[in-house]
Structure 1
């Protein structure tokens, strides 16, 4: 039986990973809270086959870069002993997914100022990743860094920004949107990917952008709205930044500052190892149903 230490199990991705892995009889899952600095499950032996690190800092009113750096270091200190006692580490980092006009693929070479454009969660993830890489190199740890795109799906303990975007679109009758592509990944597919990864002999010391499908934003809106009445208006994306501030239509910042080298990156295309069939309508409907049921409770 493989022993797994899961850090950050109360978040959207971490919760779905926990719910998936705890059903596997060949895995023993122990949860650790980096915020409370204590285990959430009983543990006797602190030696682990794999650590899955999903923790991050979520934004609040008084967030700033200095505090984000301080809190990130605090997380590292709290988890240091667990890093040392884990043979392999799966680390969830951040990928600022930008809307693009003419490409249905996503880029791995993001070159932009995280401290200017990213939120506190994304900033903390990038800071933690830098510490993490230095740690793994020094102690010669095997690792896998996973960077999900726009994560959607059910089983959301609160409401993550991507699901909020989906629900906001469902409510609106007039929708202004840029003619761009948006990359999407079902949170349950991330959990499936992680379950397969923990049984691998080697993680490969690599970084993967996890993406199910990149589609036109208009198609995504159509799938969300389905047969309900609404007016959809294409708009030049250069105006989006101003419209965002006025109408709060999108929850994501659209940047136009750097040239992009496009690279196909999609771990889910390897059907022989993952066998994942992404169904956008099914994911959207499951997400809507989850929040509706929770509201009715």
Structure 2
């Protein structure tokens, strides 16, 4: 909350005070209100902190509303909402990065059913630049990539790494309960958890996402997720993380 809401409010106020020409704000797909199953996520969704998934999403929705308040006061701001970021240059090893590393090391023995929309980190960076150059004041643009099931993602990793993908699937209700205890254990042992109740909920949520607006107005063009995963594996190997 302090960073995503108060920090954003401070940035907006400073931009107004110093008359910054343009602010490009990175929000999140999860800051947009959750659509019903089968309904495509697009920019028509409102930023409603009471209709999002989890505390992180709520904080990003509140932060985005601070940016929109700044727009009402005359700030030239563009809002970008990336989906799940994946790809190389993952120096801090994100949750998705940890999954890739653990898979290649042969540590992933089971998987959780679900799907998500993933976007390459390089495409997000390109989207930020395009938004700065071509975006319209006060507009929101979704930066998504490709919807991929967990099973398909693991099969991609199997093809790229040569490591056999697990075939045993954990039901989501059981996985969510396990995720709660997994977080407690990891907090005690100072180990970064591979999955959390929030990540389980995300995999079960609506992952039909459209980036058509960004494609039409910004000339945004995301690459295939297979390429992103392949480059991520190669980068982790070059950095001797795997």
**TM-score, scaled to structure 2:** 0.71
Alignment RMSD, CA only?
3.9
Q: Give 1:65-144 correspondences, 5 Å limit.
A: 68-69=1-2, 72-74=5-7, 76-77=9-10, 80-84=13-17, 85-96=19-30, 105-106=40-41, 108=45, 117-119=54-56, 122=57, 124-138=59-73, 140-144=74-78
**Structure 1 residues 151 and 131, CA gap change in structure 2 (3 angstroms):** same
**Structure 1 residues 272 and 71, CA gap change in structure 2 (3 angstroms):** closer
What SS does the aligned partner of 2:6 have? helix
Q: Alignment length, in residue pairs?
A: 221
**TM-score, scaled to structure 1:** 0.60
Report if aligned partners of 2:117, 2:209 keep a CA contact under 8 Å in 1: no
- Corresponding residue number in structure 1 for 2:124: 190
What SS does the aligned partner of 1:278 have? coil
Structure 1 gap segments, 5+ residues each: 1-67
CA distance in 2, matches of 1:225, 1:190: 26
CA deviations over 1:153-179 (Å, ceiling 9, x no partner)? 11234222332233334443412321x
- Corresponding residue number in structure 2 for 1:167: 101
Q: Give 1:1-297 correspondences, 5 Å limit.
A: 68-69=1-2, 72-74=5-7, 76-77=9-10, 80-84=13-17, 85-96=19-30, 105-106=40-41, 108=45, 117-119=54-56, 122=57, 124-138=59-73, 140-171=74-105, 172-178=107-113, 180-200=114-134, 203-226=136-159, 227-246=162-181, 250-251=195-196, 252-255=198-201, 265-267=210-212, 270=215, 274=219, 276=221, 278-295=223-240
> Which of structures 1 and 2 has the bigger CA Rg?
1
Report if aligned partners of 2:111, 2:169 keep a CA contact under 8 Å in 1: yes
1:133 Cα deviation from its structure 2 partner: 1.4
CA deviations over 1:23-55 (Å, ceiling 9, x no partner)? xxxxxxxxxxxxxxxxxxxxxxxxxxxxxxxxx
1:144 Cα deviation from its structure 2 partner: 1.8
**Structure 1 residues 83 and 125, CA gap change in structure 2 (3 angstroms):** farther
Bigger strand fraction: 1
Report if aligned partners of 2:110, 2:166 keep a CA contact under 8 Å in 1: yes
CA deviations over 1:248-286 (Å, ceiling 9, x no partner)? 652443339x997x9752148837963635222221121
1:131 Cα deviation from its structure 2 partner: 1.8
CA deviations over 1:197-256 (Å, ceiling 9, x no partner)? 2222x5142222221111222101111232312432234322220132356652443339
Report if aligned partners of 1:211, 1:267 keep a CA contact under 8 Å in 2: no
Structure 2 gap segments, 5+ residues each: 183-192
